[in-house]
Amino acid sequence: MAEVKVAVLGGSGAGKSALTVRFLTRRFIGEYASNAECIYTKHLCLDGRQIHLEIYDPCSQPQQGKLSLTDELHWADGFIIVYDISDRASFAFAKALLYRIRESHIGVCKKMVESSVFLVGNKQDLCHMREVGWDEGQKLAMDNKCQFCELSAAEHCQEVVAMFTKVLRNITSNFKVKEKRRPSGSKSMAKLINNMFGKRRKSV
């Protein structure tokens, strides 16, 4: 069974938890306690292949200060970067996150298998309050060589499922290209990071 780890990152209120729970349960819950990080786990079948999926949903990340993301960059096989189309500050934060991920791929922290990254403009149901244009999101994704979509966690269940499915397909395709996902001797590092992120685990 393939193990796939995805980190869902973004500024406070962008809709990270809403997207994650919408994908895992098909339900939408508008309000979340954001004072504790979670790892959601789920077994699923993708294209005939059994997958053990872990999705890291952090507590709300500060939109100021240095972005290290060191643990997440080592742990995750893929990233979903979320911003709120009605909040330009969240878009700026998403841009900083993408820069940090891209920087890691060309620096000393480069992973053996390059992560799959998807930029998501959430809350499309708030188009009447839009502060970030679709073309801005598309350009940011192109500049960072990642995929892009706009959707609404509140209203677009199938679009949310399709987006997560694309991320998982990209990751499993990368696994097929590389026989080994991580360098030898890294199991202890993965275990350490799992312990750090393992404060709250939810099976769905």
DSSP, residue by residue, the chain: -EEEEEEEEEBTTS-HHHHHHHHHHS--------SS-EEEEEEEEETTEEEEEEEEEPSPBPSSS----HHHHHH-SEEEEEEETT-HHHHHHHHHHHHHHHHHHHSTT--SSPPEEEEEEE-GGGGGG--S-HHHHHHHHHHTT-EEEE--TTT-HHHHHHHHHHHHHHHHHHHHH-S-SS-TT-HHHHHHHHHHHTTSEEE-
Complete domains list, the chain, with CATH: 2-197 (3.40.50.300)
Report pLDDT digits (tens) over 137-180.
999 999 999 999 999 999 999 999 999 999 999 999 887 665 45
Report pLDDT digits (tens) over 55-110.
998 865 554 444 567 788 889 999 999 999 999 999 999 999 999 998 876 554 44
pLDDT category at 181 given cuts 50, 70, 90 is very low
Q: What pTM was estimated for this model as a whole?
A: 0.81
